[in-house]
């Protein structure tokens, strides 16, 4: 079972940033409004993710570390329309098999928090407010071959920050902070309300992104709605790693979406290559399969032509519209 867990872990956890992604997913699923990530040595020595979400009841703490234990769906039918980031019940079990994991959590109904040591299974009362802290130490300590593939701390840190940035662009109403070696390296304050998304885009992508981009809003009331902002290309801003696509709030890397966006840029602006954009696709959950890959970063659309057209039109209309 240990071996099976470690093999599964290889699919979910490639590097510290993969752990950060899974833990922040869990914090968001728990309804957190503030998420703090603390790292040592690019996340290899320590990743701690603290949230103010609903917490895990004492009796469920050991269950959370079991393989295929998820509190989020209970039937195959629910998988068709999963609304949470997690649903496979794999992440904590996988991480626990390749690192030293500890949970500290308190629900609002409990008079104290509880601490669970993932190795020994020791469960004891502890102190903290409502919410959960997951601590992951010495990633890949038992798989030195894997550990050798990691890059410098600076590179791993950059990947961890990128993982949080992707979440931050999806959830402006949640505040995020990232600490490395005791120093605050990124902070995005909660941006509630209607203007929240643009504010978060400005905070994450730079103040000038709003001026150098146009609003995208297409397909309201239809099968596929596309919103967000499309950068007006300029050489300084065009960067290969600044294309953000979301499907129903989930960050995805998807060729259908990037191809559709690129086609729109080519049509309207003739051959601009790597414009910065953030596109948010909303689609009936039964028309998209998010259970394609353990990391859930890939999706499969039931009708990819429909999605391609919607995104292409959305970006074309935005770029072609006269600017105020």
Closest contact distance (angstroms) between CB of 180 and Mg ion is 23
Report the distance separating Cα 144 and Cα 141, nearest Å.
Answer: 6
Report the distance separating Cα 29 and Cα 154, nearest Å.
Answer: 29
Q: In the bound complex, which residue of the shown chain has the CB atom lying closest to ligand ADP?
A: 86
Report the distance separating Cα 184 and Cα 200, nearest Å.
Answer: 18
Asked if 54 and 71 touch (Cβ cutoff 8 Å), the reply is no
90, interface contact from ligand ADP, Mg ion, none, CB < 5-8 Å by kind: ligand ADP
Q: Which two tokens stand for residue 65?
A: 């570390």
Q: Rule CB under 6 A: which of 59-78 touch ligand ADP?
A: 64, 69-72
Tell whether residue 175 is a contact of ligand ADP (CB under 6 A).
Answer: no
30, interface contact from Mg ion, ligand ADP, none, CB < 5-8 Å by kind: ligand ADP
133 vs 212 by CB, closer to ligand ADP: 133
94 vs 224 by CB, closer to ligand ADP: 94
Closest contact distance (angstroms) between CB of 67 and ligand ADP is 8
Tell whether residue 48 is a contact of ligand ADP (CB under 6 A).
Answer: no
- Phi first, then psi, for residue 302 (nearest 5°) are -65, -40
Asked if 171 and 133 touch (Cβ cutoff 8 Å), the reply is no
Pick one of 8, 9, 12, 27: the residue that binds ligand ADP (CB under 6 A): 27
Report the distance separating Cα 198 and Cα 228, nearest Å.
Answer: 8
Tell whether residue 18 is a contact of Mg ion (CB under 5 A).
Answer: no
Tell whether residue 233 is a contact of ligand ADP (CB under 6 A).
Answer: no
Q: Which two tokens stand for residue 308?
A: 């391609």
Scored b (16 or more CB within 10 A) or e, 215-242 reads ebebbeeeebbbbbbbbbbeeebeeeeb
Q: Rule CB under 6 A: which of 265-294 touch ligand ADP?
A: none
Pick one of 86, 219, 228, 275: the residue that binds Mg ion (CB under 5 A): 86
SS3 call for 187: strand
Burial class (CB in 10 A: 0-12, 13-18, 19+), 43: buried
Q: How far is CA 114 from the centre of its chain?
A: 26
Pick one of 42, 86, 172, 233: the residue that binds ligand ADP (CB under 6 A): 86
Closest contact distance (angstroms) between CB of 52 and ligand ADP is 10
**Whose CA is closest to 265, among 217, 232, 225, 219?**
232
Options 25-33, 75-83, 192-200, 299-307: segment touching Mg ion (CB under 5 A): 25-33
Asked if 22 and 11 touch (Cβ cutoff 8 Å), the reply is no
37 vs 64 by CB, closer to ligand ADP: 64
Pick one of 39, 91, 139, 201: the residue that binds ligand ADP (CB under 6 A): 91
Q: Rule CB under 6 A: which of 115-174 touch ligand ADP?
A: 132
SS3 call for 255: helix
Residues that bind ligand ADP (CB under 6 A): 22, 26-27, 30, 51, 53-56, 64, 69-72, 86-93, 132
Contact positions vs Mg ion (CB under 5 A): 25-26, 86, 91
């Amino acid at each position: 079972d240990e071996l099976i867990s470690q093999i599964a872990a290889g699919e979910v956890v490639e590097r510290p940033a993969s752990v950060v992604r899974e833990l922040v997913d869990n914090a968001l699923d728990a309804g957190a409004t503030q998420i703090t990530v603390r790292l040592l040595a690019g996340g290899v020595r320590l990743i701690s993710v603290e949230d103010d979400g609903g917490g895990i009841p004492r009796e469920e703490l050991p269950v959370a570390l079991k393989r295929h234990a998820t509190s989020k769906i209970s039937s195959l039918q629910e998988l068709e329309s999963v609304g949470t980031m997690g649903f496979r019940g794999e992440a904590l079990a996988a991480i626990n098999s390749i690192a030293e994991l500890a949970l500290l959590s308190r629900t609002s109904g409990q008079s104290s928090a509880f601490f669970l040591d993932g190795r020994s299974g020791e469960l004891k009362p502890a102190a903290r407010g409502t919410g959960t802290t997951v601590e992951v130490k010495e990633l890949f300590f038992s798989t030195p071959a894997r550990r050798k593939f990691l890059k410098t701390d600076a590179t791993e840190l950059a990947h961890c920050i990128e993982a949080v940035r992707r979440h931050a662009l999806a959830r402006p109403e949640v505040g995020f902070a990232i600490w490395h070696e005791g120093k605050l390296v990124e902070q995005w304050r909660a941006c509630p309300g209607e203007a929240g998304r643009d504010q978060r885009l400005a905070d994450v992508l730079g103040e000038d992104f709003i001026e150098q981009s146009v609003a995208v809003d297409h397909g309201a009331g239809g099968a596929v709605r596309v919103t967000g902002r499309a950068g007006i290309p300029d050489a300084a801003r065009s960067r290969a790693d600044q294309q953000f696509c979301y499907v129903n709030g989930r960050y995805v890397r998807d060729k259908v979406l990037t191809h559709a966006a690129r086609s729109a840029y080519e049509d309207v602006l003739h051959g601009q290559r790597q414009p910065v954009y953030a596109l948010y696709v909303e689609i009936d959950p039964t028309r998209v399969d998010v259970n394609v890959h353990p990391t859930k970063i890939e999706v499969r659309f039931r009708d990819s032509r429909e999605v391609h057209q919607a995104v292409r039109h959305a970006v074309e209309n935005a770029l072609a519209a006269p600017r105020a």
